Amino acid sequence: MTRGNYKGRRRPGLIQVILALVLAGCLCFTALLALVLSGARDDIRGEPKVMVILGCLIHSQGQPSIMLQDRLDEALGYLEDHPDMTVVVSGGQGPEEPTSEAQAMAHYLEQNGVPRENILLEDQSHNTWQNLTYTAQRLKEAGTDVEEGIVIVSNGFHLSRARMLARRAGFENVSVLAAPSSHVPSRLKMYIREPIAMVKSFVLDR
């Protein structure tokens, strides 16, 4: 009889532990989402001379995806008032992409009036950490001065992580430009994905 009562008491205890773990997970996710949301805005510090546009999917015809076009159009708006900036387009070629993201971005910028001599291509990266570490190497190879800082262009959900990784990659003065995310399903998906990516990048991207 005593043994039966003991088993009966164990089951509610296990449920309480599971509920506590679920609650803790929800609180952690909420805190990380708040961090992502807090960084989803323009933040320009000083007068950066270098712009870094982070890559995103391009379609089979070589055209930028909606999110990448959002980034490029945001960059073009800023470049209208800062035409002498060095622009790094950063992104390699995925298995379903006909060319590198960097090449597609450079072509789009050129078509919209950015001089080719102002554009540097970083076309080997396949994630945000590589975007920024390879960009740092590319700028060093080109002899480009980054003492006055860089401005990173990406969709708003991406900027908290991008800024964290840029500092880890050696950039000291990091500004950001938040492009809109016109494709609503992608925006919702990324705001769910990005808090998890923040944890992954914080732990592994070094």
Q: pLDDT (tens digit, 9 = 90+) per residue, 141-196? A: 999 999 999 999 999 999 999 999 999 999 999 999 999 998 888 888 988 999 99
Q: How confident is the model at residue 1 (pLDDT cuts 50, 70, 90)?
A: very low
Residue-level pLDDT at 7 = 53
In angstroms, rounded to a whole number, what is the distance separating the alpha carbons of residues 179 and 42? 9
Mean pLDDT, the chain, rounded, equals: 92
Helix (H) or strand (E) holding 159: helix 159-168
CB atoms under 10 Å from CB of 64, counted, come to 21
Q: pLDDT (tens digit, 9 = 90+) per residue, 43-74? A: 999 999 999 999 999 998 889 999 999 999 99
CB atoms under 10 Å from CB of 43, counted, come to 14
For the whole prediction, is pTM greater than 0.85? yes
Residue-level pLDDT at 21 = 85
